[in-house]
Structure 1
Amino acid sequence: MPWRCQPQHRLTLYWSVIAPEKSRAQIEAEKWILVVPYAPGKYCLPLCTLPFRRWMLFIASFVAQFCNGSLYAWSILNPHIDSYIQGRSMDAMPTQNGTGSGSQSTSSLPPDQKAVVTFYVAAGVLGFAAALSGPFVERHGPRHSLIVALCLLFVGHVAAFLSMQYKSYVGLYIGYGVFCGAGYGIGYIAPVSALMKWYPDLRGTAGGFAVCGFGVGAVAWGDVYEPLIAAVGMNCFFLVFGSIISGILLISAFVLRTPPPNYVVSGRNVHGVKVSMPPTESEKLQGHSESTERVSVVLEEIRNGNYMNVFDYQKQELGEAEILYHNKVKSLRIRECVFSIEYLLLYLVFIGAVATGIILMSRVFSIGKGVFRQDDHKLTHLVMYLALCNFLGRLVCPLLSDAFIQIAQLNPAFGRKIIVGLLLVDQVVVLAFLKSLIQDPNAFGLFQVVVFFLTFSYGGAIGIMPSLLTDMFGVYNSGTMHGIILTAWSICAVGGGLTFQHYFFKIKDSYPMEQMREGETAAYIFNFHWLMVIACIGLALVPLVRTNPVDRFYPGYQYSVCGRPLVRITKKDY
């Protein structure tokens, strides 16, 4: 019956992204810095008569990601939440009561560590919310998407506030973990998707700047949490903090937008194709016809084996290969992108690039304390420096990829793939050093240096991925592709973190108490081994990601090296 097909049809429509059209009222409203909608298709008069410039999106995106970075600082809240809900002091030490029975008073015991589960729930939901909301972000734009995100965040913080009143961990897991996790996921990809469209000439720089605020927010909000708890109390913390970041995100949402129709900058449109001026309707039809004819010529060359005639294009050329590439990328459907071999390989490469960084960043303090016997002051500074390296990696590596592509005149996707490969090489080398350094209690200085390199490469991989996905799968699929690949981050944060913790305690507890340091060292070395395996797998898969347009869109499968096909499997009906 027809109605039985409706849910499937709606699902198909949802995952089919069509470039949204803008009304005249929206175009006029978006000429100013703040765009405030009050009804569908209706906008308030300009609240600020400052004309909009695309560089303003850098600030709005940075601020939005800065707020999202508050999730990274959750570990500071764990002891305060556990102490408040369980009614135990954070500084409590196990002592015997006065009965002489050997039993301990409940209030004298340190609180159980249950609040940390909230972070795992939120981190897991973040990735999957980003994946599922990708088509919504592309269809409705960054402004509406960020408003939805801040609403989820506010509801989540209110639910967390009520959970503190009723001292309920379950309410905290659902309220903050699910609602705020979903809000962080949507709020993470919305600014990135917008900047990818505004900066076809500097995609790497734009993507890196969009995500670097996340790392800065983790450090900054960590310094805010303690004074805010002291001022308003743990019982009111979530209500106050949720109101603060919701207000900040609302202002950022009013600034974010997608480009106007026929947008061209530095001679390129949103897809990165070189154009001389916005085309008229007749020119569009004529250009489409000419493009189709030239693409047919390219395909004929492929069929005849004249591979060198259509070899990978250089950035400043507008030859048949680039025309083929951009026309194919623009026509890609989401399911074609998601189920492509390239995306599967990129997903695994991304896991290899972020697993070590995200797992070790949360354990550097413990390593410094248990293995190197350093004081809290030094380790606190180390954590801050790591956050700075994470920030620099997210910003500098994408910027370097733009410069590398421009100087070497490379296919953008190929240039960024090289940078990702170098970042993975760095991680493999660092892990090899860590296995030996951690056995020397006097090597803390060198340990800090190699961990700085590790964190920089971790941030670089996160920063460069949005622009690489846009180059590979098109500007209107980038939000969805970026959202789905963030599930890899969630898997590493939750699954990888729990796996690391499981083996750490299993190996450590097998040693006697007087050999605690040796037990911790052995546990870390074992975990470094399987992390290196993951990084090596990611590195080995990088060359298999095909960025050459002829290989990618060959009718079948083709893999080439230096312009010569090594593997060629042609479809039977071609």
Structure 2
Amino acid sequence: MTRPTIGDIIAHDSLLFSRVSLQREVPKTKSIYNAIMDYYSHTEYSPSPAQIERNRWVFFGLLRCQPWMAIPAGILIQFCYGSVYAWSIFNSPINRTLADDPNRGRSEVTFYIALGVLGVTGAIFGPWIETSHPQKSGIIGMIVFFAGHITTALAIQVKMFSMLYFGYGFVAGIGLGIGYVSTIDAVSKWWPKARGTAAGCAVMGFGGGSLAFSYINKWLIDSFTLSTAFIVLGTINFSIMFVCIQFICPPPPGHNLDGIPVIETNTEINLTLGRAAKGSFPDRSQTAKIEEQQPRYMHVFGSERPVIHISLAEALKSHDFWLLYVAFLANIVFCLVILSNLPALINRLFGRESKTPKDPPLEAYVAVSIEGAFNMAGRIIVGFTSDMIGRKTTFIILLAVQIVALICIPITISSGNFWLFLILIWIATICYGGGFGMIPAFLSDMFGSSNTSSCHGVFLTAWSIASVCGGLVFTGIVNRYLSKGYKPYDTKMYHINFVWMMVVVVIGFVCCLFVRSSIRDRLFPALPHQIMRIRIFGRVLRVLWLPSDRIDDTASVADSVSMNQTAQSTSPLRHGLRRKRLHVELLTKEQEQVAWEEYLFLRAVQYQLLKESGNM
């Protein structure tokens, strides 16, 4: 009999991820639905041997490709795309030039359109970006982004808001979505063991661009006509990105694991039998020691490292994907709203428009610049932290910190404590930037490196929803109270806004708790009578509703109930009369490992029995 592999078992087990749906016969004539599902099911980049050889060289084939080159190139590319966050500098000049009433604020709509299109573009083009060479998608994004600037300059020249919305909002938004996703994910794939840090570095460039271009845009407006300023800005971005994109290329095949590991192997234990770690051959006692250390399932399967392959379509059907999506949206909504309203909040609550007008302790533009610096720092600090302590643990901390900040900020407003208010905003901004820096690595860990661009593209729609809807809700509440006669410095309208934002963050926190971030958590079958199982800070917490006579206070349920034990058969009447109690247990690492190894071993036995009975 052919020796079964763990991969065979995983594929056979009906409780696990399966690609059976992809193995069915494809109809000759594809419907639109089938075409879409096919597009979202194949996201692997498959270069030819000649292309693999070309990928070894960068900068027009003159330099040997090195992993570190992707980091500075990615930072500078994202720096240019980050200029979109400095759009507010253009609002007043554009409104004065194009609008009959400069106070109507029609230019501000352009920014919301650009962010909305960015998210939709990422979701639509994600699979194509994943299957394409990152330099190809990066160049297309760069060209489209430049075309948006040229169209914007033309719109200002002919004084048409509709062309402005189309040029910068729609065209530049498409280029931004393609370039943002392709660059970050290309950089992170070079560092599979430090994805959080690599992605955080690249995204840090985006935050740096938002900070630097506030001053660059102001200089352009003072030095050129408004239409010429956009041509110069587009040319600057295009030139920098054109040079940097020459250093972006995909890693060679095998650089990233083709799938998601099912087991975390210990290289000192799970060696191929007959060969020692340093290449020498062990003696009999060493071999015996290695065999003794191996779990039971490894005696059956050898040293194979099994993986699970998940298509994008399967990832999108997973409730873990959408729980993380909600958590990501909750993590960014607060600071996205504050980002555009912080100057108004400072002036109305603590400055010249407050109940007792005075100069604020810190000018609003300086506070915004410092906030941008914290945004940048959070992206790399949180990304690095997630590599150390885990993605889910880090994300839970980010959301918890924001909840505390949102509880305390209304108190600082009521007490007039300006500096504590500002410090809390800056701390929350670290969490905001950190979410962007960590999410590409989080998605890669959960659904595989071949789905990173695709999943990341879908997640960018949360960016669009949070910025557009969050901004509209905040402004709508403020305007409603102002129309009722409240003054801009009245705190009630701001307290209500902080309350709804805190509710959103709390919902995201709860969703994050239930995200099964590791493949082990998704493969674990439920125990009989289990109500809930979540992982908090690396430990498994289980809640069970057990009959009183089944609870043993001297031992953990993990020890007393087998992972695959079926419930004891009882008559419905007797079962209904038995008293039950809620049992909560926090598994130790050792208990979890024992249960996991038992699960793999039982799957091996199941597979062998099915093979012997001829049912496979």
Q: For the structure 1 residues 342 and 8, does the alpha-carbon distance in structure 2 shift closer, same or farther, using more than 3 Å as the test?
A: closer
Q: Distance in 2 between matches of 1:261 and 1:212?
A: 28
AA at the equivalent of 2:334: T
Aligned to 2:132, the other structure's residue is in SS state helix
Equivalent residue, structure 2, for 1:170: 162
**How do 1:295-310 residues align onto structure 2 when only pairs under 5 Å count?**
none
1:509 deviates by: 2.8
Q: In structure 1, what residue type is equivalent to 2:496? A: F
- Distance in 1, matches of 2:240 and 2:108, equals 26
**Aligned partner (choices 508, 514, 536) of residue 506 of structure 2:** 536
CA-to-partner distance for each residue in 1:78-102, whole Å, 9 max, x for gaps? 0011111137xxxxxxxxxxxxxxx
Pair 323,195 (structure 1): closer, same or farther in 2 beyond 3 Å: farther
Mean Cα deviation higher: 6-15 or 145-154: 6-15
Do residues 393 (structure 1) and 393 (structure 2) align?
A: no
Structure 2 counterpart of 1:60: 73
Tell me if 1:200 matches 2:180. no
Structure 1, residues 20-51: CA drift from partner, whole Å, max 9, x if none? Answer: 2323443333333314xxxxxxxxxx3xx332
Task: Work out the CA distance in 2 between the residues paired with 1:111 and 1:323.
Answer: 67
Rounded Cα–Cα distance in structure 2 between residues aligned with 1:3 and 1:28: 36
Match of 2:473 in 1: 499
Letter in 2 for 1:144: K
The one-letter amino acid of 2:48's match is: S
Which one-letter code corresponds to 1:27 in the other structure? I
2-structure distance, mates of 1:62, 1:435: 36
May I ask how many residue pairs the two structures share in their alignment? 480
Tell me the amino acid that sits aligned with residue 59 of structure 2.
L
Which deviates further from its counterpart, 155-164 or 373-382?
Answer: 373-382
Comparing 20-29 with 3-12, which one deviates more in the overlay?
3-12
Residues 173, 563 of structure 1: CA spacing in aligned structure 2 closer, same or farther, 3 A cutoff? closer
What is the letter of the counterpart of residue 413 of structure 2?
I
Structure of greater Rg: 2
Alignment of 1:103-502 (within 5 A): 110-263=102-255, 327-328=307-308, 331-373=309-351, 375=359, 378-404=363-389, 415-441=390-416, 443-502=417-476
CA distance in 1, matches of 2:83, 2:402: 26
The separation in 2 between residues aligned to 1:426 and 1:135, in whole angstroms, is: 34
* Residue aligned with 1:68, SS: helix
| Partner Cα distance (2:56, 2:202) in 1 | 22
Per-residue CA shift, 1:209-232, capped at 9, x if unaligned?
121111110011111011112222
Please tell me whether the aligned partners of residues 17 and 138 of structure 1 are also in contact (alpha carbons under 8 angstroms): no
Q: CA deviation at 1:269?
A: 7.5
My pick for the range that moved more, 366-375 or 24-33, is 24-33
Task: Specify the alignment match of 1:313 in structure 2.
Answer: none
Q: How far, CA to CA, are the matches of 2:304 and 2:339 in structure 1?
A: 43
| Partner residue, 2:553 | none
Mapped contact 2:95–2:102 kept (Cα < 8 A): no
For 1:76, the aligned partner's letter is I
Unmatched segments (≥5 aa) in structure 1:
36-45, 88-108, 277-307, 311-316, 405-414
1:453 and 1:271 mapped to 2: Cα distance? Answer: 34
Cα distance change of structure 1 residues 17 and 429 upon mapping to structure 2, 3 Å threshold: same
Residue aligned with 2:307, SS:
helix
How far off its partner does 1:178 sit? 0.6
> Structure 1 residue 541: deviation in Å?
1.7
SS in 1 for 2:67: coil
Alignment TM-score, normalising by the size of structure 1: 0.77
Deviation of the 1:548 alpha carbon = 4.1
Equivalent positions of 1:559-574 (< 5 A) are: 560-561=533-534, 562-563=539-540, 566=543
| Equivalent residue letter for 1:347 | Y
Q: Deviations over 1:91-150 (max 9, x none)?
A: xxxxxxxxxxxxxxxxxx644310001011101010110111110111102111111111
The Cα RMSD (Å) is: 3.1
- In structure 1, what residue type is equivalent to 2:40? W
In 1, the alpha carbon distance for the partners of 2:99 and 2:526 equals 61
Residue matched to 2:96:
83
Secondary structure of 1:363's aligned partner: helix
Q: Distance in 2 between matches of 1:259 and 1:556?
A: 39
SS in 1 for 2:104: coil
Contact 1:129 1:185 in 2 (8 A): yes
Which amino acid counterpart does residue 544 of structure 1 have in structure 2? Answer: F
When residues 319 and 532 of structure 1 are mapped into structure 2, their CA distance, relative to the original with a 3 A threshold, is farther
Distance change >3 Å, CA 118–CA 309, structure 1 → 2: farther
Q: Does 1:32 align with 2:57?
A: yes
Change (3 A) 1:501 1:563: closer
**Structure 2 gap segments, 5+ residues each:** 1-26, 268-294, 353-358, 545-562, 567-605, 607-616
| Aligned with 1:517 (options 475, 478, 489) | 489
**CA distance in structure 2 between the partners assigned to 1:400 and 1:205 by the alignment:** 8
Moved more, 354-363 or 502-511: 502-511
Contact conserved, 1:17 with 1:476, CA < 8 A, in 2? no
Amino acid at match of 2:314: E
For the 8 Å contact 1:17–1:477, the answer to whether it is kept is no
- Deviations, residues 183-229 of structure 1 (Å, cap 9, x unaligned): 11111111121123211111111111121111110011111011112
CA distance in 1, matches of 2:300, 2:123: 35
- Alpha-carbon offset, residue 3 of structure 1: 8.3
Alignment correspondent of 1:99: none
More divergent stretch after superposition (484-493 vs 501-510)? 501-510
Could you tell me whether the CA contact under 8 Å between 1:143 and 1:257 is conserved in 2? yes
CA displacement at 1:323 relative to structure 2: 7.2
Deviation per CA, 1:214-273, whole angstroms, max 9, x where unpaired? 111001111101111222210222222112212222222221111112337xxx789678
**TM-score in terms of structure 2 length:** 0.72
In the TM superposition, what is the alpha-carbon distance from 1:12 to its structure 2 partner?
Answer: 3.2
User: Corresponding residue for 2:288?
Assistant: none
